Amino acid sequence: MRLKKDLGQHLLLSRGVLEKIADFLEVSEKDTLVEIGGGTGNLTRVLLGRNPKKIYVLEIDPAMVKKLKEIDDPKLEVLREDATTFDLCSFGCEVKVTGNLPYNIASLVIERVVLFRSCVPLAVFTVQKEVGLKLAGKSEMGWLTVFLNTFYETEYLMSIPPRFFFPRPKVVSGVVRLRRRGKLPEIDTLRFKGFLTRLFSSKKRKLKNIFPEESLKSAGIEPSTRPHKLTQEEILRLYNVLER
């Protein structure tokens, strides 16, 4: 089957890696799963082998949808949908989400998970290694790192060399797991996102050039601090002060 470069399609072939992803997802018989970008069904088949309650696969490519529908299993439902705009709560229950994400939409999908966090207790994604390390707080953070980790604990679990994919990507991939926090802050998600994108729009600027010094001092933050030097806790504290 011809893969579409514009959709960022790289098929993960390694059975061992696919089994590990299923392990990381902690699949049980009571789970409803959502797989994003099912491709030719390599991960789908492994997940079905774990005997979940139901698997929904979101796939935008009609050729891949046709291929996936050849898998004969009553627990599988294939939907031709765009995961970057899909309502993950539409299944009416909590779902575990997974997928080998095309690099060009990974951030959009992860943002989507945060928006529908009430329905997603756990997610495991394959992303570009550099992105995965950043999301897990192992390199300089950006707005999405803070946005995600306010609501989820993010772990970087393993790296995947290019040789395990077809076609081979030019970069190393990584697997991350998002586990929803037990106590979530009660904040307006979209307002918080707007605050974070403003905060990180220029990491070289001092905070006093972005926000009122009075607000910074009320949050216990030195006005000359630069955004990338803030901790997760300081960022949330500043947001709450500004909202008040």
Q: What are the pLDDT digits (tens) for 110-138?
A: 999 999 999 999 999 999 999 999 999 88
Band of pLDDT at residue 7, cut at 50, 70 and 90: very low
pLDDT value at residue 1: 53
Evaluate if residue 6 carries a pLDDT over 80: no
**pTM of the shown model:** 0.91
How far apart are alpha carbons 178 and 133 in whole angstroms? Answer: 13
Q: How many domains does the chain have?
A: 2
* Residue-range definition of the domain harbouring residue 42: 5-180
H helices of the chain, in order, are 15-24, 42-48, 62-68, 106-115, 129-135, 143-151, 189-199, 213-218, 232-243
Please check whether residues 137 and 233 belong to one and the same domain.
no
Please check whether residues 145 and 200 belong to one and the same domain.
no
Please check whether residues 143 and 222 belong to one and the same domain.
no
Across residues 217-243, what is the average pLDDT? 92
* Short-list 115, 181, 187, 112, CA closest to 149: 181
Last residue of a domain, one of 136, 155, 180: 180
Last residue of a domain, one of 134, 150, 180: 180
Please check whether residues 93 and 160 belong to one and the same domain.
yes
Please check whether residues 164 and 145 belong to one and the same domain.
yes
Please check whether residues 198 and 165 belong to one and the same domain.
no
